[in-house]
């Protein structure tokens, strides 16, 4: 299994050229990033395992650093090891974790910004207001799994529902002129990509995306035909309909993906 870190590394190292070349075969993105000057992309990286934000950005003013060092004890980073970044309105500035060299460079070029105190709130809420109660707050606040879901659905009232990426795809669906679904996950089912009308496909890196055949050619052909038929049966039972929908979509997309990866245009 590939780790998130490995995936992001390969994306950055060879992804821009390699992935774009492959994806153009889907007729999906006409190498926009390379050829269109106005091309813009919003890239969101959601750290499913969380991030130790208090060791990512550390305040450097004497009082604030002292409070941090006291709270963190042996986990605190030495003030001298931090990469200082200037912050308007905070003369002492802040320091980035010593390993965030590239981010510091981007920050210094004004190509990176940090947004603090972001969370899944229904409306701006102070700690005092939260403690006093009465202000609406997200369901199951402080529950990691619920908040993960709320980040991906932007629905603070529940623990399910369609994801915001999927809802965007629902609205843009008519613009997709290819057979290839716009939402693709390489990390399992994604609540973010789960639309109301549209559903993302999921591919598993390293696995062959398609059906293995066995036995005789005639038998194999007959099995595939029968499987296609069986997928259309018993759809009155909703879990069966859902499961068959997923498999039907997988079989259809597998053809497109494998054709593209083998270099044949469809």
Partner 1 sequence: MPAWSTNPFVSDKSEEMAQRIFYAPSVFNYFSPGFRAGTQLGPEFQIFTTATSLIRINFVSTLLQGGFGSDVTLDLTPYLGDLPNTGAMVDRVNMNLMGGLMSQSMRDSILAAVAKAPANSEKVLTAVYLTATASQYQVEN
Site residues, partner 1 (CB under 8 A):
1, 144-146, 149, 158-162, 185, 188-189, 191, 194, 196, 201-204, 207-216, 218-219, 221-223, 225-227, 229-231, 233-234, 237-240, 242-247, 249-251, 253-254
| CA distance linking residue 203 with residue 225, whole number of Å | 23
Residues contacting 258, CB < 8 A, separation 6+: 209, 210
DSSP three-state, residue 149 = helix
Q: Minimal CA–CA distance to 116: which of 173, 51, 168, 63?
A: 51
Cα 87 to Cα 91, 112, 113, 172, 192: the distances in Å are: 7, 12, 10, 39, 33
Q: Are 140 and 159 in contact (CB under 8 A)?
A: yes
Neighbours of 180 (CB within 10 A): 19
DSSP three-state, residue 231 = coil
Strands (E), the chain: 57-59, 83-87, 90-96, 184-185, 201-202
């Amino acid at each position: 299994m590939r780790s998130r870190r490995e995936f992001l590394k390969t994306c950055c190292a060879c992804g821009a050229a390699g992935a774009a070349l492959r994806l153009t075969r889907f007729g999906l993105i006409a190498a926009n990033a390379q050829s269109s000057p106005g091309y813009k992309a919003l890239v969101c990286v959601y750290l499913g395992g969380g991030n130790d934000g208090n060791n990512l950005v550390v305040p450097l003013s004497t009082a604030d650093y002292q409070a941090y060092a006291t709270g963190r004890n042996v986990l605190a980073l030495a003030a001298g090891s931090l990469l200082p970044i200037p912050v308007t309105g905070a003369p002492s500035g802040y320091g980035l974790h010593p390993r965030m060299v590239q981010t510091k460079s981007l920050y210094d070029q004004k190509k990176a910004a940090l947004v603090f105190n972001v969370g899944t709130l229904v409306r701006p809420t102070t700690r005092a207001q939260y403690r006093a109660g009465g202000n609406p707050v997200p369901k199951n606040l402080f529950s990691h799994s619920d908040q993960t879901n709320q980040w991906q659905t932007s629905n603070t009232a529940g623990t399910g529902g369609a994801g915001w990426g999927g809802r965007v795809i629902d609205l843009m669906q008519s613009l997709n002129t290819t057979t290839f679904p716009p939402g693709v996950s390489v990390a399992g089912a994604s609540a973010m990509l789960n639309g109301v009308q549209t559903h993302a496909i999921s591919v598993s890196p390293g696995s062959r995306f398609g059906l293995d055949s066995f036995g005789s050619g005639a038998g194999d052909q007959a099995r595939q035909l029968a499987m296609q038929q069986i997928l259309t049966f018993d759809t009155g039972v909703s879990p069966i309909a859902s499961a068959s929908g997923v498999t039907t979509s997988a079989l259809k997309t597998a053809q497109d993906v494998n054709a593209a990866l083998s270099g044949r245009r469809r």
